[in-house]
Amino acid sequence: MNKAMDHKQLATILQWYDMSGVDVIVADQPTDWFEISKRPSAPTLIARQATNSRPQTASPAAPARVAKIAPKIARADHSLAAPKTELAVLEASELSAKASTIAELQAALEQFDGCSLKNMAKKTCFADGNPRSSLMLIGEAPGRDEDLAGLPFVGRDGQLLDKMLQAAKLDRPTDVWITNTVFWRPPGNRTPTQAETDICRPFLERQIELIKPKVIVALGGTAAKTLLRTKSGIMRLRGKWVKLEINGQAYQLLPTLHPSHLWRTPAAKKLAWQDLLMIKEKLREKKN
């Protein structure tokens, strides 16, 4: 194989990765996580040793103690992620609750290291638009362009969203406040996990409390499911007003289709337009 061929093949492979959404390098060497997950973990080994072996030490109390606690550690080992997530949610709640302005909330989010998405992201994408607007749009997660710009909805999906807003005579810089369910780009544009949305949620809810929008629009299934804590799909949820309650305060929320869905399925633009008209009507009602 000559060098020119090598380069051509490498370029083809990189192109294929890029098209598949793999556009970050997280380590120099690949890791076979399937293989690693088959190996017994340290706490499991301790538990096995503690229950299988006879006490070898002079003090019988120590192995007895290990035998007692090791099964608990082994059980906890399967849910190690859970306490970590809970701690991060707690920290996010405490930090966000202290913020009494949008600027303070953004500063608190920039400081927060509890969401692992931040480790691979280039920038934190907090929000964009007019903090005094009546309409708040909530998308899924920053993509590649948003990660570079540090602003939500600036890429292809954002351009489509801007066009739709313009068609409905809504001006993005003055009429809307836009954010996402998570504030850092998930690698390869994958859907954020439940743990990631749970961790970011206190910052999102505090944003809602501080913006006090008259109307909230959940763009796509992830935003709708996260905000409404439901497993229902977006096709079932879209186009129907629902009440979202945060700390005793009620907000009107309309789930609608995500712009990325409209790129893939242009025929669905008709439904998105119907939803947009409902939003306009609700804004008109709330104004009077």
Contact residues for ligand URA, defined by CB under 6 A: 139-143, 146, 152-153, 155, 157-158, 180
Q: Which is nearer to ligand URA, 73 or 268 (CB)?
A: 268
CB neighbour class for 139 (10 Å; exposed up to 12, middle 13-18, buried from 19): buried
Query: Which of 68-92 are b and which e, b meaning 16 or more Cβ less than 10 Å from the residue's Cβ?
Result: eebbebbeeeeeeeeeebeebbeeb
Q: Tell me how far, at minimum, the Cβ of 143 lies from ligand URA, in Å.
A: 4
Q: Tell me how far, at minimum, the Cβ of 104 lies from ligand URA, in Å.
A: 22
Q: What are phi and psi of 109, to 5 degrees?
A: -65, -40
Which of the 8 DSSP states describes residue 243?
Answer: E
Q: Which is nearer to ligand URA, 141 or 272 (CB)?
A: 141
Place of tokens 């492979």: 13
Q: Tell me how far, at minimum, the Cβ of 139 lies from ligand URA, in Å.
A: 3
Q: Tell me how far, at minimum, the Cβ of 209 lies from ligand URA, in Å.
A: 21
Q: Tell me how far, at minimum, the Cβ of 14 lies from ligand URA, in Å.
A: 23
Q: Tell me how far, at minimum, the Cβ of 259 lies from ligand URA, in Å.
A: 7
Q: Tell me how far, at minimum, the Cβ of 129 lies from ligand URA, in Å.
A: 12
Q: Which is nearer to ligand URA, 55 or 150 (CB)?
A: 150
Strand partners, 246: 249
Residue 145's nearest CA partner among 166, 159, 131 is: 159
Q: What are phi and psi of 287, to 5 degrees?
A: -75, -35
Q: Which is nearer to ligand URA, 43 or 143 (CB)?
A: 143
Q: Which is nearer to ligand URA, 143 or 213 (CB)?
A: 143
The number of beta carbons lying within 10 Å of the beta carbon of residue 218 is: 28
- Position with the least CB separation from ligand URA: 139
Q: Which is nearer to ligand URA, 84 or 269 (CB)?
A: 269
Helix (H, G, I), strand (E, B) or coil at 233: coil
Q: Tell me how far, at minimum, the Cβ of 180 lies from ligand URA, in Å.
A: 5
Q: What angle do CA 252, 255, 261 make, to 5 degrees?
A: 160
Q: Which is nearer to ligand URA, 70 or 137 (CB)?
A: 137
Helix (H, G, I), strand (E, B) or coil at 211: helix
- Provide the token pair at 206: 């505090």
Q: CA dihedral in degrees (253, 259, 260, 261; nearest 10)?
A: 70
Question: Cα 139 to chain center, whole Å?
Answer: 9
Strand order in the sheet with 128-129: 128-129, 176-180, 135-139, 215-219, 249-256, 242-246
Q: Which is nearer to ligand URA, 66 or 118 (CB)?
A: 118
